[in-house]
Amino acid sequence: MKEDYVARSAQLALLLEVSAYPKPGNVSRMRDFEDTHYEHFLASSVAVYPVLREAAASDNGVGRLIRRGVAESMKWQAGGNTHFGALLLLVPLAMAAGACEGHNKVEIKRKAKEIMQNTGVDDAVELYRTFPEAKVKVSTDVPELDVMNEASITKIKEKKRSLCEILTISASYDLISRELVCGFDKTFSYATVLANFAREMSINDAITHTYLRLLSEEEDTFVKMKFGAEKSEYVQERAKEIVKRGYEIKEIGDFDGELIAQGINPGSAADIIAAALFIAVLDGLRV
């Protein structure tokens, strides 16, 4: 069935993304964080399957599905937030993929944008309820609508703010929000980068190369929020050098060690790579 195909493609994307190594600063098959281990990501990828399948069979309920995905993830593993950012992207994309005939990328991209534009107040409320449940660490957020403050939900309801409207505010400083409100441009463009790399090298290397390419071209907003602009610019500069010098494995390893030592994890980049992998797998990428 279509929804099983879509859900499997999204699940494989999550598994391939987290497995790829070395992926500077992030969890991989070779790298656990102190409280969040590789196996927590495996279990979470398993946990969210029924939610991804339901998304592929739905044309509304973005907020509810993301919240359910996070809840399932946390029932199956004790490593905390593993897939919140990835689910933010994958839920509307899976809905779009399920709703389109075939797997035409242009159509899926258009449909995913439409789904986000049609989100309502309920979606916003559900997402706000997810933040504290997911134990997501946020240092900056929509100033007038603090995601960790229960009162924000009342305000959202009073002002009748849709999920898309709220994300439009955070889009100015958050890469994931920007993807969600601006039509998933980066997801689809890096899906193409990834598919091209995969024709020339192993799937593992295609993922790490695409990840580094993304880091070199986009400031990781998660790093910027958590560690400041100087750090996020530094990360981007280092990635640029690595890309320019041809992705030398030793350099990538050193960069990984450096980021890990400082506790810097470019989480937004990993989320976008997972979403890009989903599109590439849907489009026929196989291992």
Give the burial class of 34: count Cβ atoms within 10 A of its Cβ; 0-12 exposed, 13-18 middle, 19 or more buried: exposed
Q: How far apart are CA 270 and CA 277, in angstroms?
A: 10
Binding segment (CB under 8 A) for a copy of itself, from list 35-43, 63-71, 114-122, 243-251: 35-43
Q: Smallest distance, Å, CB 2 to a copy of itself?
A: 12
CB-nearer residue toward a copy of itself: 49 or 234: 49
Residues near 173 by Cβ (< 8 Å), separated by ≥ 6? 140, 221, 224, 225
> Looking at the chain, which runs of residues are DSSP E strands?
none
Residue 132, token pair as written in the block: 């504290």
Establish if 77 lies at the interface with a copy of itself (CB under 8 A). yes
Q: Rule CB under 8 A: choose which of 39, 150, 185, 237 binds a copy of itself.
A: 39
Pairwise CA distance, residues 190 & 192, whole Å? 5
Told to check if 136 binds a copy of itself by CB under 8 A, we report no
Is the distance from CB of 209 to CB of 197 less than 8 angstroms?
Answer: yes
Query: In this complex, which beta carbon is closest to a copy of itself, that of residue 37 or of residue 155?
Result: 37
Q: Which one, 183 or 253, has the nearer CB to a copy of itself?
A: 253
Residue 78 and residue 250: Cα distance in Å, rounded?
33
Among the residue ranges 47-55, 126-134, 140-148, 170-178, the one whose residues contact a copy of itself (CB under 8 A): 47-55
Say whether residue 129 binds a copy of itself (CB under 8 A). no
- Rounded to whole angstroms, the Cα distance separating 239 from 273 reads 15
Residue from 38, 84, 184, 190 that binds a copy of itself (CB under 8 A)? 38
By CB under 8 A, name the binding residues for a copy of itself.
1, 4, 7-8, 11-12, 15-16, 19, 29-30, 37-40, 42-43, 45-47, 49-50, 76-79, 202-204, 286-287
